[in-house]
Amino acid sequence: MRIEADQVTMIINERTIMENESVVCSPGALTALVGPSGAGKTTLLHVLGLLLRPTSGRVLIDGVDTTSWGAKQRRLFWKHHAAFILQDYGIIEEESVAFNITMTSSLFRSKVVGDEERVRKVLSETGLDGRERELAARLSGGEKRRLAIARALYKDAQVILADEPTASLDEANGDRVIELLQLLAKQGRTVIVATHDEKMMRAAHAEHALKGMRHGR
């Protein structure tokens, strides 16, 4: 799916956080949103994922303007197409690894079904083999990040939005996360990351540098 921000401006509490940002995120590509701290990378990622409405400008999904979308249409997008790897990973620590992987997919269904075979497959892809029954709280920071990616893999989402996915990971874990995100893009998905990790930027196929706002605006 092609996700596009067209002249997006965000004003929060009378403060302009970003102004007239435009970016096209294509399927099959890993797009990095870059810029100095406070430039608005997280905010733009949330706007592109329809988690935040911009003050002005449009977000287009496969050319369709989402400006007038209500809660129902946005929910359908999240349910069917998007997976988020946000800064707190959205991991429920007191639940098992397998529960965390299947939760976003099963929350939308009446039956709580966990396809064990697929859980094993995504655990193997993320280097968490055999950990399905473990409590998520027992995982390290890097493992939790990979668990969030395993959940995105399980969901088979067309659009993956990740906020600083390599932050505070050691080199080996960071490399692994980058490889996984590249793999997801190679499979034809739209992968969008907010990052200030140079390795992540080099691995990206496209880069959008946020202008950042001057103080006092």
Ligand X SMILES: Nc1ncnc2c1ncn2[C@@H]1O[C@H](COP(=O)(O)OP(=O)(O)OP(=O)(O)O)[C@@H](O)[C@H]1O
| Residue 2 burial by Cβ neighbours in a 10 Å radius (0-12, 13-18, 19+) | middle
Distances (CA, A) of 70 to 73, 77, 163, 176: 6, 11, 24, 37
Rule CB under 6 A: choose which of 12, 112, 137, 172 binds ligand X: 12
Rule CB under 6 A: choose which of 194, 200, 203, 204 binds ligand X: 194
- Provide the minimum distance between the beta carbon of 180 and ligand X in the complex, in angstroms, as a whole number: 21
The two structure tokens encoding residue 192: 């969008």
Under the binding rule (CB under 6 A), the answer on residue 195 touching ligand X is no
The smaller minimum CB distance to ligand X, of residues 42 and 182, is found at: 42
Supply the DSSP symbol for 126: T
Q: What DSSP assignment string belongs to 85-113?
A: E-TTTT--TTSBHHHHHHHHHHHTSSS--
The stretch near ligand X (CB under 6 A) out of 11-19, 56-64, 70-78, 112-120 is 11-19
Under the binding rule (CB under 6 A), the answer on residue 54 touching ligand X is no
Tell me the per-residue interface mask from 13 to 42 with ligand X, x by CB under 6 A, - otherwise: x---x-----------------x-xxxxxx
- The binding site for ligand X (CB under 6 A) comprises 12-13, 17, 35, 37-43, 194, 196
